[in-house]
A and B are shown apart, each in its own frame.
Chain A
């Protein structure tokens, strides 16, 4: 990124360079002061600028939740689907038009609880999707209930005496399921996050970026962890960059260390490559390449 752009991004007086990527006619957004979701969107937009991806062929798919609202704010072909089903929707979109670059942008509850089955199967199939998971450790949209990511003994509206269920370590889960790119950053790490998103754009296969993000309204406050700013200080103090860390070591606790970095970057053939190779191998000349979209219109 150029220094100019950096300055511009950090300086409110200058026209915001990410604005062209947003539906400004939908502002103001619904997110609370101190919420981390907007920061992730800013990083996403920076990644679009830097990686120069073709915006026309970029589609964004969200599920339901505070994070799910991202689809409504980006100036892209964008789909706000149903709770948990962003990944299968994105799968259909990508398979029907392989030229699309498909991003899934959703929350931890959406992707790992109700959508958990789709998450692991899409990783297993290695569908060429870039998944950005905003992990605020809670079901925010519905008022702060326990998520499968809520760490040890945190208080939530459905575990008012503290949670006791073990939580998911998402990088470990998706690596085991087959993801080719797995990274975690926090909303404090804006440059690293933008860079990671850019890297994922150039990766073929199932890429997963977890962004640890504050929900001051429902998670931090209820757990006496301060406000958005306090959370940034916590992220700064307790994050350790460990690229290549074994994902089994990166589980989260309520106030402990947060291991961040790029954990997995590997190559294996993606679903469409595998499908193509199999058909060519089995069918030979009888195989016909999938039809293009124009064919359904007169």
Chain B
């Protein structure tokens, strides 16, 4: 369906990534946010708080992130598209409810504007060190989708995408920004509402008698109903059967948990988004994402000028990880160079997917600033040898 024009601020804007993310959420149809202030993410909800009563919706500032991350899920079951926004310490507090969203298949978006950690770390400075937490942070086996924008324009475009994927797969989608992307101001073009595709909720058309809340009817993703519609359904974080009833047997557990994972992994190729350039003749591929991809671009350009055969693969989806793409490249390139603002998180995935066919150079940085392009260039040179 097309976006509700009331939420779409069509035109050219000069705004930062946080604000663009908010506009993306509104364009995607989000009419509910629950949040708790934390730098460098607060601007997203500040803008939402100002905008949403003029487009028909609700913002509530909760007493903590534990509350915010479940309040939004109540809103989803009440019929809203909903999200929350946070950074490191708040993201840590939200982990239990990311698991709850995964288990109950509550479509929603968690925005994490990454800052330096662990703990309070670097409240105002960038990092990309929550990438593994986004994937694995809640206990148990489950799957999520995580997107990494590298510009305010993408903060807008990909936030819409995040909501659409959340609805399509009924999963929590992690929107992994970083402090620099969140606070960088650039031109953002917001198209007219009739050019914005939004994914409607997978609402059931079944009768009250026919409807079973977790029966996928042969599909991977079940249909949903909202409270108050007469279905009288049950939702639980306990292991449950197709009726949504607790059923704590190894068989039900196996069926449910595998489906929660498989609905994402089986669609990984379709979900995976990346940007590539100069891969055809590449000896070395720089794999990067978020703000680091923009620093890496400089290093790649310089390397090319120096005659090095270096290509670029920018991850837009971090999870599911574009494994197939890496594996395919690993068969024909010498090495991957993976700069990131952490001590080597996605580099582990690259290495794993490469399966020993190509070398992986992890270019770590503890956060607080960005890499120097020179440092990336040096590793490209080394990897090309």
Contacts and interface: CB of A to CB of B under 8 A. Distances in A.
Interface of A: 23, 25-26, 55-57, 59, 61, 71-72, 75-82, 84-85, 88-97, 99-100, 117-118, 121, 275, 279, 283, 286-298
Contact of B6 (A84, A94, A279, A288): A288
Interface stretch (B29-37, B123-131, B352-360): B29-37
A296 B81 contact: yes
Interface of B: 1, 4, 6, 29, 31-32, 34, 53-58, 60, 62-64, 66-68, 70-82, 96-97, 100, 200-201, 203, 226-238, 245-246
A80 B235 contact: yes
A250 to B, nearest CB: 26
A117 B64 contact: yes
B6 to A, nearest CB: 7
A195 to B, nearest CB: 25
B232 A92 contact: no
A82 B29 CA distance: 27
Given A82-B96, A92-B73, A288-B53, A97 B63 contact: no
A298 B1 contact: yes
A92 B32 CA distance: 9
A91 B64 CA distance: 14
Contact of B74 (A76, A89, A286, A287): A89
B63 A117 contact: yes
Contacts of A81: 70, 100, 237
A199 B56 CA distance: 32
Contacts of B80: 96, 291, 293, 296
B203 to A, nearest CB: 4
Among A82, A88, A286, residue most surrounded by chain B Cβ atoms (within 10 Å): A88
Nearest to B60: A95
Nearest to A287: B53
Nearest to A124: B63
B232 A298 contact: no
Contacts, number: 172
Contacts of A91: 60, 62, 67, 71, 74
Contacts of A76: 232
Nearest to A125: B60
Contacts of A121: 62-63, 67
B56 A95 contact: no
A92 B34 contact: yes
B13 to A, nearest CB: 19
B113 to A, nearest CB: 22
A96 B227 CA distance: 10
B203 A295 contact: no
B164 to A, nearest CB: 12
Among A75, A82, A292, residue most surrounded by chain B Cβ atoms (within 10 Å): A82
B228 A99 contact: yes
A61 B70 CA distance: 12
Contacts of A72: 234, 236, 245-246
A80 B57 CA distance: 26
B32 to A, nearest CB: 6
Given A78-B234, A80-B236, A118-B67, A295 B53 contact: no
Contacts of B55: 288
B332 to A, nearest CB: 43
Contacts of B76: 92, 96
Contacts of A57: 228
19 contacts: A56-B228, A56-B230, A77-B77, A88-B66, A88-B70, A92-B82, A96-B77, A99-B228, A121-B62, A275-B58, A283-B54, A287-B54, A290-B58, A291-B56, A295-B29, A296-B29, A296-B80, A297-B200, A297-B201
A79 B238 CA distance: 11
B236 A88 contact: no
Contacts of B66: 84-85, 88
A75 B78 CA distance: 17
A80 B238 contact: yes
A298 B75 contact: no
Contacts of B63: 117-118, 121
Given A97-B226, A293-B80, A293-B226, A77 B231 contact: yes
A297 B232 CA distance: 19
A290 B31 contact: yes
B201 A93 contact: no
Contacts of B60: 91-92, 95
Given A91-B71, A92-B78, 4 more contacts: A23-B234, A77-B77, A81-B100, A296-B80
Nearest to A61: B74
A59 B74 CA distance: 11
A287 to B, nearest CB: 6
A136 B230 CA distance: 33
Contacts of A289: 56
B237 A80 contact: yes
Given A78-B235, A283-B54, A291-B57, A85 B77 contact: no
Contacts of A296: 29, 79-81, 200-201
Closest 6 CB pairs of A and B: A293-B79, A92-B74, A96-B78, A298-B200, A92-B75, A80-B236
